[in-house]
Structure 1
């Protein structure tokens, strides 16, 4: 689903359902989903998301939108779903290719995506916002029929992982397979010991990487809740350094995030102890993702040494050197 003319046809079909037939749709990004900026009469601006087929069903997307609505009511700066004239938030399209797709319209949010050169202070804000997000999650009564994917070893790095199998990544060797297998075995042991009690495990964003933040002045806004699901709360910190786990600034990013989190929430020693396991599990999940997206610009931008650097991180994890001095 990358042909621009085809995508614009889908976008205008969705906008007609929102009574925005005359609005201008500009393609912003093609990733897992497709995002358009929509400029309508009166200076109104929106973001239109076209979902990739076969990943989330209508009930899952509706559950995401229910949480976003509740978060917005609680005062968090998150994407606000916009209803169609009939009051519904989710539109279902039958494309010219015969494939059914879902579409959602959001209020536009200002800001720019940060780069790895981000001021570490932004991670302080992110930590504080994430603590508020988690507090809301722990106390929010989910509506009947609420369903989201669970992010656990089985769905992240297991044989039927949702983002692909790390074993199938091009260039996999017997030695690399053994190293990753050993790493994941240790991850599973630590996560089982850590447990899934409600204070540690619940509804999270699950993909709070730099690409899913918008920074505007002193504001850090969270976007793209497409992968929100049930997992460990500390997984949101592991995801925050996605693709950059070996960046020299990671210790500072983590320290600032923890500092911000403790302004509005509580971090225990057990939470700190499990963080390296969650980070290496996330990195291996991303390794699998690079295999299923190997021909995309994003994966090519990671460079030819990304696989080797992943293996180096696994060795650091097994040797106890990954974020040794956190907290």
Structure 2
């Protein structure tokens, strides 16, 4: 991980391309990307994102920003990239380790990250907003050169998994491996039968978990489109449960989300039926992520029984009991 002094140096390099005089940089988070809050003496505030090296290329980031512009044009409250003095929204900086780092400056968005104490009714609003996002995605003509990653079994839990191999997660033994392999074989078969027609599969946020929402009064704003890509539309609901799939409020969260979604779009029986497979696939993807991030505070916060709880969810799904009473 790059040291804080080097990150601040990169941030100042990026800000040189903007008319933000005497800007102060406050490091907010170091996760997949590095986020700074940028304050100026006139009271203006921005968020600067330093991308992790080697994950997205410039064309992928440009595609994300193009989609954000299109979503904002529909009235959705999503991040607003800010152009520099040269008119460009993406800066490419020479990293201290020799790897280039891309940077994007965004207008500041107000709100607080919700916790699991969130009123389940708030998921109704999230479902409504997600339906609006999907409606735009289904009709939007993507610009030439548009490119984003696809979130499918091969890239989520298979040999080309972008977040690591679940087999390498802490504590995964032969019995756990057999159970997860069995589940993934069934999931792959279900998703193959479900298919990828355009009314089921398209451009989605792909990471709409609680940490990527900002709530302010009656407003819910979607942030961090860094992993937006091509996947099943119901994947956005599966992702909304990330890290909390066994929480006792999950059935209520899902019911409220579906009710909100139904105010703008129909949810078919086939979509309801595929949802448990998407939820357990996402959980296994997150298990892989814990292996590549095992020394982080976030993984420590999941508790020593994270794997055991994941395996319990796998068994529940295999018995047909996961999300049995929703919809």
TM-score calculated relative to the size of structure 1:
0.99
Deviation at 1:21, TM superposition (A): 5.0
Equivalent residue number for residue 298 of structure 1:
298
**Alignment RMSD (CA, Å):** 0.8
Distance 2:207 2:193 in 1: 24
Equivalent residues in 2 for 1:276-287, closer than 5 Å: 276-287=276-287
Q: Give the conservation status (yes or no) of the 8 Å contact 1:18–1:85.
A: yes
Equivalent residue number for residue 9 of structure 1:
9
| Pairing 1:162–2:162 present | yes
Equivalent residue number for residue 175 of structure 2:
175
Secondary structure (helix, strand or coil) at the match of 2:103 reads strand
Equivalent residue number for residue 116 of structure 2:
116
Distance 2:286 2:95 in 1: 30
Deviations 1:43-80 (A, max 9, x none): 11100000000000000000000000111111100000
Distance 1:231 1:311 in 2: 24
Equivalent residues in 2 for 1:1-327, closer than 5 Å: 1-327=1-327
Distance 1:95 1:174 in 2: 41
Deviation at 1:199, TM superposition (A): 0.2
Distance 1:26 1:32 in 2: 17
Q: Give the conservation status (yes or no) of the 8 Å contact 2:21–2:40.
A: no
Q: Give the conservation status (yes or no) of the 8 Å contact 2:254–2:326.
A: yes
Distance 1:123 1:108 in 2: 23
TM-score calculated relative to the size of structure 2:
0.99
**91-100 vs 112-121, greater mean Cα deviation:** 91-100
Secondary structure (helix, strand or coil) at the match of 1:326 reads coil
Distance 1:86 1:30 in 2: 28
Distance 2:133 2:152 in 1: 20
Structure 1 stretches lacking a partner, 5+ long = none
Structure 2 stretches lacking a partner, 5+ long = none
Distance 1:41 1:70 in 2: 31
Distance 2:243 2:21 in 1: 39
Q: How many residues align?
A: 327
Q: Give the conservation status (yes or no) of the 8 Å contact 1:15–1:21.
A: no
Deviations 1:274-325 (A, max 9, x none): 0000000000000000000000000000000000000000000000000001
Deviation at 1:99, TM superposition (A): 2.0
Secondary structure (helix, strand or coil) at the match of 1:263 reads coil
Secondary structure (helix, strand or coil) at the match of 1:260 reads helix
Q: Give the conservation status (yes or no) of the 8 Å contact 2:127–2:259.
A: yes
Q: Give the conservation status (yes or no) of the 8 Å contact 1:12–1:21.
A: no
Deviations 1:119-146 (A, max 9, x none): 1111000000000000000011000000
Q: Give the conservation status (yes or no) of the 8 Å contact 2:170–2:291.
A: yes
**306-315 vs 94-103, greater mean Cα deviation:** 94-103
Distance 2:73 2:41 in 1: 26
**141-150 vs 32-41, greater mean Cα deviation:** 32-41
**229-238 vs 87-96, greater mean Cα deviation:** 87-96
Give every structure 1 segment of 4 or more consecutive aligned residues whose post-TM-superposition deviation is greater than 3 Å: none
Secondary structure (helix, strand or coil) at the match of 2:262 reads helix
Q: Give the conservation status (yes or no) of the 8 Å contact 1:158–1:165.
A: yes
Q: Give the conservation status (yes or no) of the 8 Å contact 1:45–1:108.
A: yes
Deviation at 1:168, TM superposition (A): 1.0
Deviation at 1:193, TM superposition (A): 1.1
